Structure 1
């Protein structure tokens, strides 16, 4: 039963958490999924990509490709030399102006909403 509640809560807010992360800076999919999984907001990376597609279709986020930073040599050399070429090309996600407006509207509603829910859960009808 608690798992059902957690699932419903996640569904309601994960979209806005993604927008919140992207409001700080562009991120690539694996990076986003790691941050969301770490916070218990998604169960696996497989749930993120359909959401990113829906957000893109709605014009809230956009994508661009960029070569990632190079990593230390995986050959085990102790010189820490960078790999000959840069890291892999990654698809990054960024917030659009429409996405910023959508997130701003959510932020204005979130505080009062959570305050009301907390009061009801703590005090019942007395609130």
Structure 2
């Protein structure tokens, strides 16, 4: 179940991260990896998909320790999509919490 949930929210988490600041893939893996299991092998296809949807775009930035890095930034369309995802997530989480709270308060008494 955790794997399916993670897949479902990973795009939203990346968009939320990019809303805070532009970032490059390795840095996003390190930041998200503190909270969700994610690998570089997962992020690159996901970032291509987000680019194809025009939710993020890229630019190169020189690096003091090597070649230029490809940075990702959130587009206006990506900001709109993030707002939609956050709203959908809240609605979903509220619905699930409603049922979990009812189950927790149920005493097992059939009356």
1:21 aligns with 2:32: no
Of structures 1 and 2, the larger Rg is shown by: 1
Q: State the alpha-carbon separation in 2 of the partners of residues 66 and 28 from structure 1.
A: 10
Aligned residue in 1 for 2:60: 65
Tell me the secondary structure at the aligned position of residue 53 of structure 1. Answer: helix
Distance, in Å, in 2 between the alignment partners of 1:63 and 1:122 is 43
Q: Which residue of 2 aligns with 1:11?
A: 7
1: distance between equivalents of 2:79 and 2:37?
21
Quick check: 1:64–1:93 contact (8 Å CA) kept in 2? yes
Alpha-carbon distance in 1 for matches of 2:11, 2:37 = 10
Give the TM-score of the pair, scaled to structure 2: 0.86
SS of 1:92's partner is strand
Q: Gaps (5+ residues) in structure 1?
A: 72-86
CA RMSD of aligned residues (A): 1.5
Which stretches of structure 1, 4 residues or more, deviate above 6 A after TM superposition? none
Unaligned 5+ residue runs, structure 2? Answer: 106-111
Alpha-carbon spacing, 1:41–1:114, altered in 2? closer, same or farther (3 Å): farther
Aligned to 2:81: 102
Which residue is 1:54 aligned to? 49
Q: TM-score, normalised by structure 1?
A: 0.75
